[in-house]
A and B are shown apart, each in its own frame.
Chain A
């Protein structure tokens, strides 16, 4: 029988409150559905950069409107919801709450309510943007305020729930995963408030907020949550302690200080205050410390576990995700340097970096945590062949995607420096738009396999039978 490394899953899952398992599973299944929706949209956009005539006669489906539908749905529908779902489980486990009732009835209701609110926000946001109500030029907050409001409320609810769970923990110490989860909920609330405030909405002040928003959204929400989940899942699956807890603490604090202030690296060579630009570049380099404190920590924990990794269906995802975190961030550091910015800014190379980071790092870690942890909660394992196909298609797809855009981005940037007329740089990247579409297609197929596996892990008869009499 296929068993994740460590204790058999059904022992781990026995006694788990089925209502809790269902709640977590709902977050994950909704995230999986949004992943499929956003992948279709992304694929459509990718294909359109090859042939513009596809669905071109509908104003509500134009490229400009669908692009934020793809990004917002991926970020807040897929990554955010999957991480929140996992966080419920990880916080409950790492605070040693009794798994037969980790949340009270009211708390469970609130968690489900938050789930509903998030889904409403994402759907409303997508429709509103297609109708033309788009917060243009404000990346990752293109939703009108009435779409962000329910999502904001949902994160607030979850933040309070996480805090309460930590507050009534059954151990003295607070595990590092909970540090990241609790803090991230506070950080993202501030980030969203800053993104939607109406005081600095014009001119250069607006762009200062914009740089802050873009990088704090990815850096103070997705990154800490993904890293926090890994701090729990990796030692758990390997059945050994994390290599160095102190390194984790160092990573937490340096992350908080450096990541907050690097936003202006999106606005190098602009009229934004020079002091902000320089701070951003210096701290982007300093980001090497928190990134490698975590990446190194994870890699050292995995050291000597090659056999375990190759025999598990979840650890390979975690391994790729950890390496992805280190490399994508190094790439980001390089991109922030002025001489690199001069050539690669505005090119497809940035889109390659965005996908490298959000996919090879965040998305692979989410998958690793889902495959590693969900069976321990529901007692049901995914079909191993489906997981294997998922892994290789996703890895192959993103490799084609990122390599294609990186090469294309370089050619694009060099054509610009050479002063080639506008159309030349469009022609030069054309072949790499095909690479991206092919890679994207492989990724999309991988996501279908993922969804099948996820569906097979949902709580079922087993969870009911072994739930200690409760149902």
Chain B
């Protein structure tokens, strides 16, 4: 009997492994290499140390499970403005106030990328522009319900302290204006360095990008 895949385990595994490797190359490795080359032509954005630290906090609390940072667009309806391709935003994503879908450049060098796959909460890619007040974000982080009644975002009270900060790190704390409904025990509250950095990161989200491009809001 001739050797065939039904009787030769070597041939069988070689076939399924070989075909798979070729396909993996075609659908993942090769496109990743092409996009990597494109990305390497772009400058590494530098938002400063505080934002970088805030990004780490965002990562460690895995906020991306509930928040996306992508505004989807329909590339088939793209049009040109001054030699630039503009991808219009999908109707379903229009409520975040952007007129242009997120582009590859906006993610350049981000590691990890917080594009996200689920929206239990809103998209954050333009929050820095919509909600530019750091105090609002402190209240919201401390108790989301205090500013968004009915919110299912978890409170992050452990990122705050009611003890007056002293010593080396005191400079990195920030005092929170205590408002009614926050449920603070004492009458003063400070955001820890982690909270300060986190809010700085959120405020940095795509504040400038589109203005630089001169492409609408």
Contact = CB atoms under 8 A, between A and B. Distances in A.
Given A56-B154, A342-B92, A206 B111 contact: yes
A153 interface: no
Interface residues of A, number: 90
Contacts of B64: 64, 136-137
Contact of B24 (A200, A260, A269, A270): A260
Interface in B65-116: 65-66, 68, 70, 72-75, 90-95, 101-104, 107-116
A250 to B, nearest CB: 13
Given A183-B13, A419-B95, A203 B32 contact: no
A384 B205 CA distance: 58
A217 to B, nearest CB: 13
B39 A190 contact: no
B17 A266 contact: no
B119 A347 contact: yes
A325 to B, nearest CB: 20
A169 to B, nearest CB: 8
B62 A136 contact: yes
B170 interface: no
Given A201-B111, A261-B23, A194 B28 contact: yes
B16 interface: yes
B210 to A, nearest CB: 15
A198 to B, nearest CB: 10
B169 interface: no
A123 interface: no
B61 A205 contact: no
Contacts of B148: 422-423
Nearest to B34: A273
B75 to A, nearest CB: 6
A57 B155 CA distance: 8
Contacts, number: 243
A465 B95 CA distance: 70
B26 A261 contact: yes
B62 A205 contact: no
A166 B9 contact: yes
Best-buried of B9, B64, B111, B153 by chain A (most CB within 10 Å): B9
B120 A256 contact: no
A64 B61 contact: yes
B158 A271 contact: no
B157 interface: yes
Given A132-B61, A342-B91, A182 B12 contact: yes
Contact of A203 (B60, B65, B75, B109): B109
A261 B29 CA distance: 12
Best-buried of A67, A174, A190 by chain B (most CB within 10 Å): A174
Given A56-B154, A63-B154, A271-B102, A346 B20 contact: no
B155 A413 contact: no
Contacts of A422: 95, 121-122, 148
Contact of A136 (B59, B104, B151): B59
Contacts of A420: 95
A179 B155 contact: no
Interface string B148-173: 11111111111100000000000000
A447 interface: no
Interface in A51-87: 52-53, 56-59, 62-65, 67-68
Contact of B7 (A173, A187, A257, A269): A173
Contacts of B59: 134, 136-137
Interface in A320-346: 342-343, 345-346
Interface string A340-372: 001101110011000000000000000000000
Interface stretch (A34-42, A207-215, A438-446): A207-215
Nearest to B63: A64
Contact of B19 (A142, A257, A268, A274): A257
Contacts of B35: 200, 203-205, 208, 273
A186 B154 contact: no
Contacts of B27: 212, 260-261, 263-264, 276, 279
B24 A194 contact: yes
Contacts of A282: none
Contact of B20 (A182, A207, A256): A256
Contacts of A68: 62, 65
Interface string A147-176: 000000000000000010011010011100
A403 interface: no
Interface string A272-306: 01111001000000000000000000000000000
B150 A423 contact: yes
6 contacts: A173-B7, A183-B12, A260-B20, A273-B34, A342-B91, A433-B152
Given A52-B154, A203-B39, 12 more contacts: A57-B158, A133-B60, A135-B112, A183-B13, A194-B24, A200-B33, A204-B104, A257-B19, A264-B27, A270-B102, A271-B103, A350-B118
8 A-B pairs with least C-beta separation: A64-B62, A269-B72, A132-B60, A346-B119, A271-B104, A183-B16, A202-B111, A212-B28
